[in-house]
Amino acid sequence: MIHLTGSTQRSFIFPAEQTTAFAYYSDINRICPFLSHISVVRNYKPGQYRLLYSAVEMGFYRVRIFCDIIMTLDMREHRLIISPLEGIPPVRTTNSLYSIDCQGFYSSESIFSAAGVQTRVDYRINIQARFPVPIAIRIMPEHLLTNMAQNIMQWRIDEIVEGFIDRSTRTFCSQPGKFTFIS
């Protein structure tokens, strides 16, 4: 089995006051398009979703990791917490010559702190998965495959976060008007 984990944390200044920034990032359907390789593929109940991490690695191998999540807004502490959702049947792991589909775990936390007329956002993200060694590369030792997969996933996580910060900030600045919480 390959054990895959990618995580990082970043802090950035968002060009809006704390309440507006918190409202802007509290809508998963608004923010998910800013996360490259990650999309919402199913809504269960309000605040409960299935996400899909999808990427083509090494130019030919498609990796799809499905993650069930629950989104919690802590209004008092200005925290947005996304954690694994329990009780949902996992996707069936499928492994072929050119692809893998499996269940994984996604979590993130965003803390919004007032910084004058702007907001400091402390953001962390983590994706984990376990899956069988891909058929196409079973000749390599498992520990080397795990290290290679870890490096690729960490590179992807850094790419996702940098793009998320850039795209979400640019989109906010290009759209006049006030963002409010969705009921």
- Tokens 């899909």 correspond to 52
The partner residues of 73 in beta bridges, in order of sequence, read 80
Pairing of strands 99-115, 79-84: antiparallel
DSSP 8-state secondary structure symbol assigned to residue 138: T
Q: Model-level pTM?
A: 0.87
Please say whether the beta carbons of 66 and 109 come within 8 A.
no
**pLDDT value for 136:** 58
Q: What is the CATH number of domain 2-174?
A: 3.30.530.20
- pLDDT (tens place) for every residue of the chain, 183 residues total: 778 888 999 999 999 999 999 999 999 999 999 999 999 999 999 999 999 999 888 778 889 999 999 999 999 999 999 999 999 999 999 988 888 899 999 999 999 999 999 999 999 999 999 887 766 566 667 777 778 778 888 889 999 999 999 999 999 999 866 565 554
Domain boundaries, the chain: 2-174
